[in-house]
Amino acid sequence: MNKNTDYVALEKKYVFGTWRQQRSWNPLLIEEAAGCYFTDINGKKYLDFSSQLMCSNLGHKSPKVINTLSKQANKLCYIAPSFATIPAAKLGEKLAAITPGDLQKTFFSLGGAEANEAAIKIARMYTGKTKLISRYRSYHGATSGAISLTGDPRTHYAVGIPGIIRAPDCYCYRCPLGKEYPNCDISCAEYIDEIIKMEGKQNIAGIVVEPIVGSNGILVPPKEYIPRLREICDERELLLIDDEVMTGFGRTGTWFCIEHWNVVPDIMSMAKGLTGAFIPLGATIVKKKIADFFDEEGNLFCHGHTYSTHALCCAVALTAIQEYIDNNLIEHVKQVGVTLGKRLHELKEEHKSIGEVRGKGFFWGVELVKNQTTKEPFVTRSQKFLPNTLKKISAASIEKGVYIVNVINTLIIAPPLIADMEQIDEGIRVLGEVLKIADKECM
């Protein structure tokens, strides 16, 4: 690399920065990454305390994953999806083994949005119904169907699809129904049942949820919520569609987040941790009853992509899954995640700008407020893309060598699953320092 070339200016000129004002984008130029750290062009190291976009579950530069990339690339990178390959066959079998219940058959794509697009089409093909219920505080991807499911400021310019009904959020800290847990009878779930009654169950294919909402604030439901959604779906003959794109593959201390409530969805989408973000891959797995439906004469599975079942991607995913197993990372996250949560709650006692800490495993949100009593936020949904206090905190953190993602009014703490206590202590120390910025702005 010619270090005299201004690659940042070059990228800004020829490449769009995502979800931002282009003129104000001034990114760091990253040259290398290894383990829980990445390094810029000047040699400065940064602790990756949010796993990039909550996807680098195995950290960076895993030797076994890289070796698989090389070996498979030398054998077969791509073949049309009308052919079979050993990596795709093995990966389908492996996902059927590690996902809960009788989830059995998988469609492979190239990311979370595509995985959710497949979920939408499969649900509609299987049920013959078109409407889907999602929630206001949600994110399911940027493509037309996925962004339609999304309840997020990013939907503004979307070319969406019809038939999406939004339900209230399971957000106990700011209950949209004005209730207080546990004396609420899980009204947010019961309201969804009311929506179904009013819309007509004969028109609704299913309910789409993130078991813990990700980039809309790390919203953790109470223990009754997900099981109640399963009951409602069974009672009303709807499909429960589980978006595990961000929460899957050990992120919350179980293989898949929905397992915390012993619930089996009808359809599950996944990506990110599936390959540890070493290479793009998405997957949509369905229950046996849905797989069997498409085996029946006349029931065409009318979906596909050029890169479906990409051999190189599937091979990498197999190795990534084996790394979770061989390094006992699910159990590591379950144990160390308790300490991570404890340390974050201790920060809440020290900083008047912290309104609530919530999460599981290595998936935590720190919501900031100007006043702990009134819960006035620093950033509202309409201010997501404007300069704000949380962006200042993330900028100050990166200056101190720790990368922390901010989303609306919440900081996301989601280190790679390989992170040890020394790295968690490093991240918590810097987080404590930069939270003083918000403390000074509290009323």
Q: What was the pLDDT predicted at 34?
A: 98
Q: What is the mean pLDDT of residues 303-312?
A: 97
Task: Please determine, for residue 420, whether its predicted confidence score (pLDDT) is greater than 70.
Answer: yes
User: 77 and 195: one domain?
Assistant: yes
Does some domain include residue 1?
A: no
Task: Please determine, for residue 158, whether its predicted confidence score (pLDDT) is greater than 80.
Answer: no
User: 284 and 372: one domain?
Assistant: no
| SS3 annotation, the chain | CCCCCCHHHHHHHHCCCCCCCCCCCCCCCEEEEEECEEEECCCCEEEECCHHHHCCCCCECCHHHHHHHHHHHHHCCCCCCCCCCHHHHHHHHHHHHHCCCCEEEEEEECCHHHHHHHHHHHHHHHHCCCEEEEECCECCCCCHHHHHHCECHHHCCCCCCCCEEEECCCCHHHCCCCCCCCCCCCHHHHHHHHHHHHHCHHHEEEEEECCCECCCCCECCCCCHHHHHHHHHHHHCCEEEEECCCCCCCCCCCCCHHHHHCCCCCEEEECHHHCCCCCCCEEEEEEHHHHHHCCCCCCCCCCCCCCCCCHHHHHHHHHHHHHHHHCCHHHHHHHHHHHHHHHHHHHHHHCCCEEEEEEECCEEEEEEEEECCCCEECCCHHHCCCCCHHHHHHHHHHHCCEECEEECCEEEECCCCCCCHHHHHHHHHHHHHHHHHHHHHCC
Q: What is the CATH number of the domain that holds 250?
A: 3.40.640.10
Does some domain include residue 2?
A: no
User: 39 and 89: one domain?
Assistant: no
pLDDT band at 152 (very low <50, low <70, confident <90, very high): confident
Q: What was the pLDDT predicted at 20?
A: 86
Which of 265, 296, 326 lies at the terminal end of a domain, its last residue? 326
Task: Please determine, for residue 3, whether its predicted confidence score (pLDDT) is greater than 80.
Answer: no
Does some domain include residue 389?
A: yes
Does some domain include residue 213?
A: yes
Does some domain include residue 291?
A: yes
Per-residue pLDDT of 176-192, as tens digits, reads 999 999 999 999 999 99
pLDDT band at 100 (very low <50, low <70, confident <90, very high): very high
Task: Please determine, for residue 21, whether its predicted confidence score (pLDDT) is greater than 90.
Answer: no
The residues, any chain, with a CB within 8 Å of residue 268's CB and separated by 6 or more, are: 99, 103, 241, 242, 244, 256, 258, 284, 285, 286
- Residues of the chain with pLDDT > 70: what percent? 98
Q: In what order do the strands lie in the sheet with 30-34?
A: 30-34, 37-40, 45-48, 402-403
Which of 295, 310, 326 lies at the terminal end of a domain, its last residue? 326
C-alpha pair distances (Å), 218 with each of 213, 283, 414: 5, 22, 10
Q: What was the pLDDT predicted at 379?
A: 92
User: 37 and 78: one domain?
Assistant: no
Q: What is the mean pLDDT of residues 256-280?
A: 98
Q: What was the pLDDT predicted at 426?
A: 98
Does some domain include residue 309?
A: yes
User: 182 and 53: one domain?
Assistant: no
pTM: 0.96
User: 77 and 164: one domain?
Assistant: yes
User: 190 and 301: one domain?
Assistant: yes
Q: What was the pLDDT predicted at 385?
A: 82
Task: Please determine, for residue 398, whether its predicted confidence score (pLDDT) is greater than 90.
Answer: yes
Q: What was the pLDDT predicted at 227?
A: 98
Does some domain include residue 380?
A: yes
Domain that holds residue 199: 64-326
User: 333 and 229: one domain?
Assistant: no
Q: What is the mean pLDDT of residues 148-168?
A: 84
Per-residue pLDDT of 68-83, as tens digits, reads 999 999 999 999 999 9
User: 154 and 139: one domain?
Assistant: yes
Q: Which has the higher per-residue pLDDT, 370 or 19?
A: 370
Which of 266, 292, 326 lies at the terminal end of a domain, its last residue? 326
Task: Please determine, for residue 159, whether its predicted confidence score (pLDDT) is greater than 80.
Answer: no
User: 249 and 307: one domain?
Assistant: yes
Q: What was the pLDDT predicted at 2?
A: 64
Does some domain include residue 38?
A: yes
Task: Please determine, for residue 343, whether its predicted confidence score (pLDDT) is greater than 60.
Answer: yes
The answer to which of 18-32, 257-271, 297-311 has the lowest mean pLDDT is 18-32
- Please provide the average confidence, as pLDDT, over all residues in the chain: 96
Number of structural domains, the chain? 2
Per-residue pLDDT of 191-212, as tens digits, reads 999 999 999 999 999 999 999 9
Task: Please determine, for residue 90, whether its predicted confidence score (pLDDT) is greater than 90.
Answer: yes
User: 46 and 20: one domain?
Assistant: yes
pLDDT band at 4 (very low <50, low <70, confident <90, very high): low
Q: What is the CATH number of the domain that holds 394?
A: 3.90.1150.10
Q: What are phi and psi of 370, to 5 degrees?
A: -75, -25
Task: Please determine, for residue 1, whether its predicted confidence score (pLDDT) is greater than 70.
Answer: no
User: 160 and 242: one domain?
Assistant: yes
Q: Which has the higher per-residue pLDDT, 24 or 71?
A: 71
